[in-house]
Structure 1
Amino acid sequence: MTPMYSSRRLAGALVMTLALVGCSPGASTAATPPVDKAPASSAVDTATPPAGASAGVAVARALPDFSGLVERFGPAVVNVQVTEKRQEAQFRGPQGMSPNDPFYDFFRRFGQPNGGGGGGGAQPRGNQPPQRGEGSGFVVSPDGFILTNAHVVNGATEVTVKLVDRREYRAKVIGVDTRTDVAVIKIEATGLPTVRFGDPGKLKPGQWVIAIGSPFGMVNSVTAGIVSATSRSLPNDAYVPFIQTDVAVNPGNSGGPLFNMEGEVVGINSQIYSQTGGYMGLSFAIPIDVANGVREQLVKFGKVSRGKIGIGIQPIDATMAEGFGLDRPRGALVGSVEQGGPADKAGVKPGDVITKIDGKTIELDAEVPALISNVKPGQAVQIEVWRDRTAKSFQLRTAELVQDGESPQKGGSASPEESSQLGLSVRPLQPQEKQQVQTEGTLVVEDVSGPAEDAGVQPGDILLGVGGKDVKSLADLQAAAKKAGKVVPLRIQRGERQIYLAVRVPEK
């Protein structure tokens, strides 16, 4: 199967991220539910081997026993079944599945777990039944509020919730937030079993976690594994610092809870990375504190308002850190600043490295969007940056984040000029070219070689500056490069994006 991305397109990799819904789209979010906070130290037991037991038996019996946790909180995990409109489904493949879905070929050949499709390819468009799919969710309040994934319920015309005791309820979609892939649904019931929330910030790689859900419709299936990493950034998912685990999750697990050893929900299972369409040991969960903030707003307002400061950021590697005079790779590099935005008004510039937000140290660029988006529009934010090897602080007020080209042609009358030290050949942009690509830059890269080519600079890139300094000519570039030293952080425009590339100057 050709690797591709489904549901949430994460281009530019050889693996695919799969939303874990059973052949259906959906999402959700959460806030701290009114659940008991009884001590959960006994949620998971570790058996003590008897005296004289062999080493092998001792190791086996020292493994955690999750049965107590599952018995107590498993009843709060639900199966979510959805139906889409016929007119939306008629353009899809087997049982309404999109031909772009990585599971399309599999189900076209072998059918779905519920018996749909299979053996004869997709049905004719006119006879295509409504799309049906399923995922998971969990009850967060006794009166029927449930968290799941946005890709599970988004666009559904009918949502049915099945409890462990086989009771079924028609559910209402309270709100969907596609940016975080979180959704809230509600059933009319009382006295329901609920989960309790933990602190995902306390998770450490190597700790045990378990998932409960409905993979391929197999209700209340339990799988266990460990935390592989925290604050994991995924392409096109800037607002979620994912929890990465090796817990086995599959289509149908979407929206189900990820529990820690205390029996607390620390995440919502959302995606997997795979080259085959199946589980390969890379699973991703939305931290429950992120979902909490979304849930509160969805329940109260029906939508989510997020703050923004008007910047574009990128990660910092070792070479880039050296170029900016950092002691090690850390923080988030500001690649672009929105004109007239909060950051621009406060004095933040391209080339600044964000090291703290409201006193919280920033290690990874993925932390910034999640932190800023959780700030209400109009609220004050304190930002500390690294500029010209000096720490500077700025206070600004967030604006509201609204939901929501071509490279210049080569040629022209001006002749290219070369910077042999960097391996760059540049020429001035013509007025019509600047208008075409809507840039403030004045130099376009004609050819690259050596250090610039190694750094990833491409012909057609527009050269904007070095570090935080703008460059308007080859002389500006050469002077700035000389001042930068061994590593020259070039700021370029590529299409509509502004990024930094670190060019290492070879030793003479």
Structure 2
Amino acid sequence: MNASRAFLSFIFNCIKSFAIFGLAFASPLRAADVVKTIEHIKPSIVGVGTVQRTRSPPVNILGTGFVLDDGLHVITSAHVVPEVLDIANKESYTVITGKGKEPELREATIVTVDKEHDLALLRISGAALPAMEIGDAGKVREGQTLIFTGFPIGMILGFYPVTHRAMVSSITPIVLPAHNSRQLNAKLIGQLQKTAYVVFQLDGTAYPGSSGSPLYDPVTGVVYGVVNMVFVKGRKEAALSNPSGITYAIPGNYIRDLLLRKQQ
């Protein structure tokens, strides 16, 4: 009997030791996966803005975008792309790639815009860039940890993309019914008349320049959403006198609709 107990105790201690050993090494392995993922996707992250040679500075970065499809198309937030350019002074759309202090400017044109979901599809000149993969946003769950990479403060500190970690705090409608009529405005009424779609509410920190950044899986690099710091806030937080610092993202499934429009 004593021998049996001793044997069981030995087995239990072995299992406990392996469990502790596994916990000790699980986090570093996952961290290594994240490092590899970020290194892999960085060439797909671009700045989106306009260029005007007679302006100082000539390049104005308005947000972030990322490459997909054939490597010559870029997704960003629609509000990042100005609707009107200063054609008289030869202002044009541009996408910035490369890294560090020697970024490369690519000429860009608008292919199609989805104003309802605040998405824009651009086509860029030059050689194809590495493209990111779009996943099924319907599989994202609250509590899931994702990351996003972009240019939160533009090129002030050079062309260096920044990555933030974010948990999906909530999957919530883009607009909530107002509690009273005084909270209603034309924008809210128009949104309420449409079918309200859901957005991802995140606990990560983002800034206006982060709009258009891909929200992706830290291990696989698959994109599940597009970070949005202006459009969603204007609807979801319209009733707040002091809008929050919450970060939102548009589900990535709407990107597929834009790509289908491109083919038509």
Report the TM-score range of the alignment, normalised by the length of the smaller protein.
0.5 to 0.7
User: Is there any run of 5+ residues in structure 2 with no aligned partner, and where?
Assistant: 1-17, 86-91, 177-187
> Which residue matches 2:39?
71
* Residue pair 1:258, 1:268 contacting (<8 A) in 2 also: yes
- CA deviations over 1:348-391 (Å, ceiling 9, x no partner): xxxxxxxxxxxxxxxxxxxxxxxxxxxxxxxxxxxxxxxxxxxx
Partners in 2 of 1:64 and 1:248 — Cα distance? 20
Partners in 2 of 1:60 and 1:141 — Cα distance? 33
* CA displacement at 1:248 relative to structure 2: 1.6
> Which residue matches 1:296?
260
Partners in 2 of 1:278 and 1:216 — Cα distance? 20
Partners in 2 of 1:71 and 1:276 — Cα distance? 40
* CA displacement at 1:256 relative to structure 2: 1.2
- CA deviations over 1:91-146 (Å, ceiling 9, x no partner): xxxx9xxxxxxxxxxxxxxxxxx9x9xxxxxxxxxxxxx99451010111334111
Partners in 2 of 1:64 and 1:289 — Cα distance? 28
2:204 is the alignment partner of 1:270: no
Q: How does 1:199-278 map to 2 (within 5 A)?
A: 199-218=136-155, 219-234=160-175, 236=188, 238=195, 240-261=197-218, 262-271=220-229, 273=233
Partners in 1 of 2:173 and 2:31 — Cα distance? 26
Identical amino acids, percent of aligned pairs: 25
1:150 to 28, 53, 78: 78
2:63 is the alignment partner of 1:135: yes
* CA displacement at 1:191 relative to structure 2: 3.1
2:49 to 68, 77, 81: 81
* Residue pair 2:210, 2:229 contacting (<8 A) in 1 also: no
Partners in 2 of 1:79 and 1:277 — Cα distance? 29
Q: How does 1:317-332 map to 2 (within 5 A)?
A: none
Say if 1:242 and 1:276 are closer, same or farther in 2 by CA, change over 3 A: same
Q: Structure 2 counterpart of 1:233, which letter?
A: I
* Residue pair 1:183, 1:295 contacting (<8 A) in 2 also: no
* Residue pair 1:180, 1:239 contacting (<8 A) in 2 also: no
Q: Structure 2 counterpart of 1:139, which letter?
A: V
Say if 1:183 and 1:239 are closer, same or farther in 2 by CA, change over 3 A: farther
* CA displacement at 1:291 relative to structure 2: 2.2
Q: How does 1:296-315 map to 2 (within 5 A)?
A: 296-297=260-261, 299-301=262-264
* Residue pair 1:209, 1:247 contacting (<8 A) in 2 also: no
Higher RCO (CA 8 Å, separation ≥ 6 residues): 2
Q: Which structure has the larger Rg?
A: 1
Q: Structure 2 counterpart of 1:134, which letter?
A: L
* Residue pair 1:83, 1:156 contacting (<8 A) in 2 also: no
Q: How does 1:67-466 map to 2 (within 5 A)?
A: 67-82=35-50, 132-157=60-85, 158-165=92-99, 166-218=103-155, 219-234=160-175, 236=188, 238=195, 240-261=197-218, 262-271=220-229, 273=233, 280=245, 282-297=246-261, 299-301=262-264
* Residue pair 1:134, 1:152 contacting (<8 A) in 2 also: yes
Q: Structure 1 counterpart of 2:39, which letter?
A: E
User: Is there any run of 5+ residues in structure 1 with no aligned partner, and where?
Assistant: 1-49, 85-94, 96-113, 117-129, 302-508
Partners in 2 of 1:71 and 1:278 — Cα distance? 34
Partners in 2 of 1:215 and 1:295 — Cα distance? 26
Q: Structure 2 counterpart of 1:224, which letter?
A: R
* CA displacement at 1:258 relative to structure 2: 0.3
* Residue pair 1:162, 1:168 contacting (<8 A) in 2 also: yes
Q: Structure 2 counterpart of 1:206, which letter?
A: G
Aligned-residue Cα RMSD (Å) equals: 3.6
> What's the TM-score, normalizing by structure 2?
0.67
- CA deviations over 1:10-56 (Å, ceiling 9, x no partner): xxxxxxxxxxxxxxxxxxxxxxxxxxxxxxxxxxxxxxxx9978x9x
Partners in 1 of 2:69 and 2:259 — Cα distance? 12
* Residue pair 2:46, 2:66 contacting (<8 A) in 1 also: yes
Say if 1:226 and 1:63 are closer, same or farther in 2 by CA, change over 3 A: farther
* CA displacement at 1:160 relative to structure 2: 1.1
